[in-house]
Chain A
């Protein structure tokens, strides 16, 4: 199974700024997924990132707020833009039903 590496593992950011989260996979994959896990909650799919096409966003998530890049078959980034305290969550990259260790974001 693929090894999924995410960074940063955690960050504390000022409101109004943006943070880009990186996800690296050790094998080529067609689909990469980005999830959000709010404190004490379950996981919610943000978007599906396919190489060579625009990401597909789930209801409630928009590209302007969560732009995603997928430059090749092993890498993707998720940016959380114009952050507010409500964006404080764990953001997780997923491949083949497996997850990276996540990025714990705190917005102050």
Chain B
């Protein structure tokens, strides 16, 4: 119930194309869904995040689509560029009764954008 399932494991997209990464969760207590971008040798960088009361959030070329009833959310990268080549992680976070919160991460998607 605590898992976040992410797909695909890897993705190759042509420059200018749309990259789509999907995630699914089970625990309805999750109330914050961030996406991270990680380049080799670097820590994950928070890219964009959404709360379950919103169905879509867009920031520049990055859009999160959120389907609360299906317990699924996805990241769309429009006009994908070679510089977007990185590993992307979805995550889901929930508050704990004992205080604080816990974040569960998906397995990651390696994106390669061909020039």
Contact = CB atoms under 8 A, between A and B. Distances in A.
A45 B105 CA distance: 9
A42 B108 contact: yes
Given A97-B34, A97-B49, A97-B93, A43 B44 contact: yes
Interface residues of B, number: 22
Q: Is the interface of A mostly helix, strand, loop or mixed?
A: strand
Contact of A42 (B32, B41, B49, B89): B89
Nearest to B4: A42
Contacts, number: 46
A98 B46 contact: yes
9 contacts: A41-B108, A42-B108, A44-B105, A92-B43, A92-B44, A97-B49, A99-B45, A100-B43, A102-B43
